[in-house]
Every structure is written in structure tokens, then in C-alpha cells.
Amino acid sequence: MNQRIIAIDGPAGSGKSTVARLVANQLGWSFLDTGAMYRAVTAEVLRRGIDVHDDVAVASLASSVVIVTTPRVSVDGRDVGDELRTETVNVAVSIVAANAAVRRAMVARQREIAAAQPLGTVVEGRDIATVVFPHATLKVFLTASLEERATRRDEEGTESIERRDRADSLRRASPLRQADDAVVLDTTGRDVQEVVNEIVQCLKSQDSA
């Protein structure tokens, strides 16, 4: 793999999206929010009235739609940005994301997107360093206390966050877990820019080693 990848994993509310986006901006790299891709599929599944437990139908949709994540998230040209954090999507996304065929389709697209970037890509999600890009240039695992993560996701709350944690960690297909060689950063009570700077410094240190 020739492309440069910073893989940032972690549970819901750990700061992945915010940190990854700022790291990408600071480096001048591309940013890829893989969680938004799964949420976009989920939103479209719900819009079409497909049963989220119908693995074949959900996988068929995931492999056929065109998902764009920047500057706004869209599915087949339809803006779904305002739907991604609704309660119905919050509940259903873990079911859709546990679908092995959906994950295969999304992983293939994520690799294609990253391969097309001229400089590098900061990718965030739950299986980036372990499954999508196991040979990433730099692997980072973000954590934070449950209370702080729930505060950051005030539209979900503690109960929803805990449900997501269990579902993401216990699913058979690409469960959330920390890569053995990842840099672990606890973001509880920390300034976002401080975390961003630490990740950029880790990359520079690795490059100069």
C-alpha cells in the first residue's frame, strides 16, 4: 500500500470525527468519516422501508448506492446530513453496521477513496486500523469517559452510548477493538487542538525515525 493513512478508531463520542477532520486540515490531507457512510446507508434503508434485519436486502442496497461524505453526506445525490443523528438512525445503525456484506462493500469503497487521494487520508471509524487499513502509516485509538462521551453526544445520552459500545464491540463482523500497535489517547477533559497536535507530532516522529 503506497498511500499514507492515519487510522483513528474509538467508541462513540470519543472525538474521532472532530479530531480526524482537524488533523487532516493541519496536514493538508483528505478526511474520510466511515461512520457517516454506515449512517447514510442506514438512513436510506429506513427511508425505503427495508427491514434492517433483512441482511440480503440491506446488503444489496449498500452495494448499489453512491455515497458521498464531503462536503455534505448524500446517498444517490440526496442530502441525508440532517438524518444521520436522528434517534431512529442511532438505534438502527449498529444493526446495519453488523451486516458482514455491508461491511465488505463499505471497506472496498473506503480503500478506493483513500487510494485516489494525492497526499494522504485521515480515516476514522471503529475498524480502520484492524480491518480497513491494517498497515496504516499511523494508528490511533481514542478513548474518553462514558460521561464525557454522552455529553458530547447529547442527542443520544448515556444509555444509547452504552448500547452502541456493546453492539460495536460484540458484533462478529469487524468488531470495535484497539489495534496492538495503536497510539492510545484519552481525550477526557483535553483540548481538541492539543490532541490534534499530539497526533501530528506522532506522525512526524514516526517519519523521522
pLDDT tens for each residue of 101-145: 999 999 999 999 999 999 999 999 999 999 999 999 999 999 999
pLDDT category at 14 given cuts 50, 70, 90 is: very high
Instruction: Provide the residue count of the chain.
Output: 209
Pairing type for strands 30-33 and 67-68 reads unpaired
| Domains of the chain, start order | 4-208 (3.40.50.300)
pTM of the model: 0.89
Q: What is the largest CA-CA distance in the chain?
A: 53
Q: 1-38: string of b/e by CB count within 10 Å (b at 16+)?
A: eebbbbbbbbbbbbbbbbbbbbbbeebebbbbbbbbbb
